[in-house]
Amino acid sequence: MRAVIQRVSEASVHVEGKMVSSINQGLLILIGIEEKDSQEDIDWLSGKISRLRIFADEAGVMNKSILDIDGDAIVVSQFTLHASIKKGNRPSYIKAAKPDIAIPLYESFVQRFELDLGKKIGTGVFGADMKISLLNDGPVTITVDTKNKE
């Protein structure tokens, strides 16, 4: 499972011209799911992101987590995070999980992250053509892959 975590001042997701999620200060999280991903990946990633200290404290040092600031979050499934461009110029997505595997894992991640944050979070619409707007704060962008924990 791969994630791109962006600290944002605001973010929103639109599908077919309608806003489906919107937040102010918090995290926009793009999630890529592989067929090999499991509940263990979900639990580890959710815990890691919820405790990630990338928000400024009173001294301006990145020392606070989304939990500490009571921030909001949007989680969007993005299979292109598993693109391979080793051969040619057209990306291959063979490592990305098919919807029958990816959808339950994505939904499980959202549920687990909501538990870790203690609040409802925003989401995208799986498989939809989404328009995502964000104001990256910092900018701060972190990438995580559960297959590279060590």
Question: Which residue among 39, 80, 111, 143 is the active-site one?
Answer: 80
- Asked if 28 and 132 touch (Cβ cutoff 8 Å), the reply is yes
The one catalytic residue in 25, 39, 55, 79 is 79
Q: How many domains does the chain have?
A: 1
Selected catalytic residue, list 78, 109, 123, 146: 78
Print the SS3 string covering 61-130: CEEECHHHHCCEEEEEECHHHHCECCCCCCCECCCECCHHHHHHHHHHHHHHHHHHHCCCCEECCCCCCE
What's the pLDDT at 32?
97
Q: What is the pLDDT of residues 11-29, one digit of tens each?
A: 999 999 999 999 999 999 9
146 among known catalytic residues:
no
Residue 99 · residue 53 · CB < 8 Å = no
Adjacent-strand bridge partners of 75:
29, 123
What pLDDT is stored for residue 88 in this prediction? 87
CATH number of domain containing 12: 3.50.80.10
Query: Is-catalytic flag, 123?
Result: no
Residue 126, CB-side half-sphere exposure with 13 Å CA sphere:
15
Domain that holds residue 29: 2-148
User: Strand 18-23 vs strand 2-15: parallel, antiparallel, or unpaired?
Assistant: antiparallel
* pLDDT mean for each 10 residues of the chain (150 residues): 98 97 98 96 98 97 97 97 91 93 97 98 96 97 91
Nearest alpha-carbon partner for 73 in 36, 33, 109, 34: 109
39 is an active site residue:
no
